Structure 1
Amino acid sequence: MSLVEIAYLAATAAEEKKAHNVTILDIRGISTIADYFVICHGTTERQVQAIVKNIRGKIQEANIPCLGIEGIREARWVLIDLGDVVVHVFHKEERDYYDLERLWGDAESLHVQ
């Protein structure tokens, strides 16, 4: 599975749990951190946890290694490290505050259905 397919898999899994404003940023050539960021948010801690759980399940089903998950307990900003794809699942307030799309404004935003 290609990296962009992994990003779309994570985005689709997030949408299945009604994540809001799911965005994929192509940061290749802009950063060495990763190739793609998937960014989304939920409106409650419980929804953020459900989004993360669904993404983790879909990733495991596809046999994609997950290098780590941080922030799940607090469920305010959860980072899922899939190597060259990094998924950020925010609580809405944190997403508004950190505004990663603005920080990575040079990145191309890929269409998520």
Structure 2
Amino acid sequence: MTIDLLAAAAGAGAAAAPPAWMTFLPIIGMIAIFWFLIIRPQMNQQKQHREKIAAVKKGDQVVTAGGLVGKVVKVDDVYVELDLGPNVRVKAIKATLGDIIPPGGKPAND
């Protein structure tokens, strides 16, 4: 009888280890959360920005990454020529444009 009790106690204490894939499940879950909450929306936002900048045309009012507001005079594949004021024209790299100001709109700080 004592042997049966010892065998039962030994069997109850030796629980089976979880499968190996279960130990990676929390890490996979965190990666999925980061993907759907941070990485994927940022990729969509960058894609929309690239499409918007690619559609810049003559006459649009734009804001550069440096904060300059100007009117597009000439558009090239790589460069954009901006009119910043009377007798002030600047050649900027198209990728450095921050935003296109809608017609009739004002910059946020005016």
- With the length of structure 1 as denominator, give the TM-score of the two structures: 0.23
Larger radius of gyration: 2
Instruction: Output the TM-score relative to the length of structure 2.
Output: 0.23
